[in-house]
Amino acid sequence: MIIFELAKRISKKQIKEIIDAFINNQSLEEISEKFNFTKLTISKHLKTNLGEEKFIAINKLNKTEKRFSNPNELDDTNVLDNQVDELSQEFSQNTFPENTFLEIAPLNLEIETAPQKDLSSVSINEVELPKVVYMIVGKQVELETKFLKEYVEWNFLSEKDLSRKTIEIFFDLKSAKRSSKKEQRVIKVPNSDVFKITAPILLSRGISRIVSSEVLIAL
């Protein structure tokens, strides 16, 4: 006698928990083990609920951050090369449509002091960044975030804007090293297009601005 085992159904509650886990940097392998479903089943439901493009972008970002967390895989001169090259290739092939990017409208404030910086934050889709930029990361190679109010040059903005969470990029290695602390390290981002690709994911994690020496960038 042949016995057929019925496939285990995935509940709506589990789907929500799986999506939350995926967005919060858990890999497909970890989610599969946690919920006792195959990676294929997990991937299918994530693609259905998030969309193919967003699923690919989050999956790439999660793999990048997993590499960050493993010091044995880090390269002092070029930490993100492989992951960013893959993301950039997808970007150039238009696998991530422009209408999936999220924009925050420029700030609309009236300031009479002329010498102050341009008050409008520039959309990530409009700014032209150098091909290579640098970032400061923590001891465990996690992203270093700050609130905008921690940057004195932007303290004329409203309290609402000063409470925004940011990451900082540098256009040259020397500037990045000067700004880093003893317990921190500087990494090279070999293709700045990665910020455009991962903008929706950064926004979902509360990061809405990128600070540079020349411009305030809105994700």
- Apex 123 CA angle, 119 and 128, nearest 5: 105
Give residue 89's domain range.
75-109+116-218
- The domain tally of the chain equals 1
- Apex 216 CA angle, 212 and 219, nearest 5: 105
Identify whether 178 is part of a domain.
yes
Instruction: Return the pLDDT at 63.
Output: 76
Q: Which amino acid is at 134?
A: Y
Instruction: Return the pLDDT at 85.
Output: 54
Identify whether 66 is part of a domain.
no
Identify whether 121 is part of a domain.
yes
C-alpha span between 58 and 84 (Å, rounded): 13
Assign 149 to helix, strand or coil.
Answer: helix
Identify whether 11 is part of a domain.
no
Instruction: Return the pLDDT at 203.
Output: 92
Query: pLDDT (tens digit, 0 to 9) for every residue of the chain, 219 residues total?
Result: 333 334 468 888 999 999 999 988 888 999 989 998 888 889 889 998 988 888 888 888 877 666 555 555 544 444 455 555 555 554 444 444 444 444 444 544 444 443 444 455 889 988 889 999 999 988 777 788 999 999 888 888 889 999 999 999 999 999 999 998 888 889 999 999 999 999 999 999 899 999 998 789 998
Identify whether 105 is part of a domain.
yes
Identify whether 171 is part of a domain.
yes
Identify whether 153 is part of a domain.
yes
Instruction: Return the pLDDT at 111.
Output: 43
Mean pLDDT for all residues in the chain = 77
Identify whether 101 is part of a domain.
yes
Q: Which helix (H) or strand (E) holds 84?
A: helix 81-92
Instruction: Return the pLDDT at 89.
Output: 54
What would the two tokens of residue 139 be?
Answer: 């001891």
